[in-house]
A = this chain, B = another copy of it.
Amino acid sequence: MITRKATLRDVSLLAGVSRMTVARVLNRSDLVRPATRARVEQAVSALGYVPDRAAGSLSTRRSGFVGLVLPTLNNGNFASLAEGLTEALRPAGYEVLIGYTTYSVAEEERQIRTMLARRPEALVLAATNHSPATRRLLDHQRLPVIEIAELPSRPLAHAIGISNEAVGRAAAGYLLGLGHRRLGAIGPGRAGDRIDTRGEARLRGFVAAVREAEMPTAVALAEGGLPNSYSQGASAMAALLLQAPEVEAVFAISDLSAVGALMECQRRGIAVPDRISLLGFGDFEVGQQLVPPLSTIATDFPGMGHSAGRMIIDLLAAAAAVPALDQRLDIGFNLLARGTTRTTAATSHEHRGVLHA
Inter-chain contact A259/B231, CB cutoff 8 Å: no
Q: Is A157 an interface residue (CB 8 A)?
A: no
Return the chain B residue nearest A102 by Cβ. Answer: B83
Chain A, range 94-131, C-beta contacts under 8 Å to B: 95, 97-98, 100, 113-114, 116-119
- Distance in Å: Cβ of A85 to nearest Cβ of chain B: 11
Inter-chain contact B79/A139, CB cutoff 8 Å: no
* Residues 55-97 of chain A, each 1 if its beta carbon lies under 8 Å from chain B, else 0: 1011000010000000011111001101100100000000101
Chain A, range 1-25, C-beta contacts under 8 Å to B: 3-6
Total count of chain A residues near the partner, CB < 8 A: 58
Inter-chain contact B63/A73, CB cutoff 8 Å: no
Inter-chain contact B79/A83, CB cutoff 8 Å: no
Inter-chain contact A54/B63, CB cutoff 8 Å: yes
Q: Is A234 an interface residue (CB 8 A)?
A: yes
Given contacts A52-B119, A98-B98, contact A5 B141 (CB under 8 A): yes
Q: Pick the contact of A83 from B55, B100, B114, B289 — CB < 8 Å?
A: B100
Return the chain B residue nearest A229 by Cβ. Answer: B285
Residues of B within 8 A of A230 (CB): 285-286, 288-289
Residues of B within 8 A of A137 (CB): 48, 50
Report which residue of A58, A74, A75, A289 has the largest number of chain B beta carbons within 10 angstroms of its beta carbon: A289
Question: How many chain copies does the complex carry?
Answer: 2
Residues of B within 8 A of A100 (CB): 83, 86
Q: Is A53 an interface residue (CB 8 A)?
A: yes
Residues of B within 8 A of A259 (CB): 286, 289
Inter-chain contact B55/A289, CB cutoff 8 Å: no
Q: Pick the contact of A114 from B3, B95, B260 — CB < 8 Å?
A: B95
In Å, the complex CA distance between A238 and B101 comes to 41
Inter-chain contact B74/A289, CB cutoff 8 Å: no
Residues of B within 8 A of A136 (CB): 48
Q: Is A313 an interface residue (CB 8 A)?
A: no
Chain A, range 272-292, C-beta contacts under 8 Å to B: 285-286, 288-291
Given contacts A48-B141, A231-B289, 14 further A-B pairs with CB under 8 A are: A5-B141, A48-B139, A50-B113, A50-B137, A52-B117, A52-B119, A73-B79, A79-B79, A83-B100, A86-B100, A98-B98, A230-B288, A267-B291, A286-B286
Which A residues fall within an 8 A CB radius of B? 3-6, 47-55, 57-58, 63, 72-76, 79-80, 82-83, 86, 95, 97-98, 100, 113-114, 116-119, 136-137, 139-142, 229-231, 233-234, 259-260, 263, 266-267, 285-286, 288-291
Nearest 5 A-B pairs (CB), nearest first? A48-B140, A73-B79, A53-B117, A74-B79, A50-B116
Provide 24 A-B residue pairs closer than 8 Å at the C-beta atoms, listed in order of the A residue: A5-B141, A48-B139, A48-B140, A48-B141, A50-B137, A50-B141, A53-B117, A53-B118, A53-B119, A54-B58, A54-B63, A72-B79, A73-B73, A74-B79, A74-B83, A79-B79, A97-B97, A229-B285, A230-B288, A231-B285, A234-B289, A260-B289, A266-B291, A267-B291
